[in-house]
Structure formats: structure tokens, C-alpha cells
């Protein structure tokens, strides 16, 4: 967990530094996206050759696989560093929807808290009324008992 938070902090510092240079930031983001998808594409092209056979060639060229994987991981690293991995693949629409949902939950929680306070106030009022009624009943019972003793 400590490694995750320090890595997250490191990436945040890089993004803050790059935000001062938006053109470089955009270029690194674009390179990251292109390298990532190039790696995915070439890996996808290599896998059928590996699993289904190489169609008469004497050996499989593993340099293609390594080239693909290096592109994939360099692109992934650039996307993570620039913070574009999440926004590119999840999208700002989903992120904003999640933020709106979180705000709605907070609003409901506040409303529930206020309703709870109102309910507590009602219970306090009912308890006071009950005590008042009980004390009146006690007084009436005492009066009745006194009248019965007199007779």
C-alpha cells in the first residue's frame, strides 16, 4: 500500500510539472496512446501465428513479440505518468457520472441526518408530553385515593 501511494505521488508530481508545458504534455500523451495501441495491435497479430502455426515458415520471429510488448509497456507507462490512461479508456463521462452519484449520496446523507434530528426532536416532545400526562394521572389517582380514604 505504501508503494502504491508513493507511486501515485510520483505520478502526480510529474503531471504537475508537465502541466506547465502543455505542448510537451500533449505530445507525450499522444505518443503514449499511439505506442500503447501499436503494442496491442502487434501482439494481437503475433498471437495467432504463435498458437495456430507459422504457415510453413521454419521459425517464429520472437523479435516481433518483444517489439510489441515494449511498445505496449512504454505506451502504458506514458499514459500512467500523464494521467491519460484512465481518461482515455474509461472516459470523462463515466468519471463525471461517478462524481455526480457521489454528490447525490452526500445530499441524501445530509437529508437523512436532518430527518434524524427532526425525528429525535419529535421523540423528545412526545416523551415530555408522556411525562406530563403521567404526572396528571398520578395527581388524579392521588385525589381519588384521598377521596376514597375520606369516605
pLDDT values of the chain reduced to their tens digit, one per residue, 151 residues: 666 677 778 878 888 888 888 888 889 889 999 999 999 999 888 888 777 776 666 677 788 889 999 999 999 989 888 887 776 566 555 556 656 666 767 777 676 777 777 888 888 888 888 888 888 888 888 888 777 777 6
- Helix 22-52 with 62-82: angle, nearest 10 deg: 150
Which residue matches cell numbers 376514597?
148
Assign residue 5 a region (left: φ > 0; alpha: ψ between -120 and 50; beta: otherwise): alpha
The pLDDT score that the predictor gives to residue 3 is 67
Assign residue 56 a region (left: φ > 0; alpha: ψ between -120 and 50; beta: otherwise): left
- Tell me what percent of the chain is helix, strand and coil, each rounded to the nearest 5: 90, 0, 10
Amino acid at each position: 500500500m505504501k508503494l502504491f501511494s508513493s507511486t501515485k505521488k510520483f505520478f502526480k508530481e510529474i503531471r504537475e510539472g508537465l502541466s506547465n508545458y502543455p505542448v510537451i504534455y500533449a505530445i507525450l500523451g499522444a505518443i503514449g496512446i499511439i505506442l500503447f495501441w501499436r503494442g496491442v495491435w502487434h501482439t494481437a497479430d503475433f498471437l495467432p501465428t504463435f498458437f495456430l502455426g507459422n504457415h510453413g515458415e521454419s521459425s517464429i520471429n520472437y523479435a516481433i513479440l518483444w517489439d510489441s510488448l515494449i511498445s505496449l509497456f512504454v505506451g502504458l507507462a506514458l499514459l500512467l505518468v500523464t494521467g491519460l490512461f484512465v481518461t482515455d479508456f474509461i472516459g470523462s463521462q463515466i468519471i463525471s457520472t461517478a462524481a455526480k452519484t457521489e454528490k447525490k449520496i452526500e445530499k441524501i446523507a445530509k437529508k437523512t441526518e436532518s430527518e434524524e434530528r427532526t425525528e429525535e426532536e419529535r421523540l423528545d416532545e412526545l416523551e415530555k408530553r408522556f411525562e406530563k400526562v403521567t404526572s396528571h394521572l398520578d395527581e388524579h389517582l392521588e385525589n381519588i385515593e384521598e377521596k376514597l380514604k375520606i369516605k
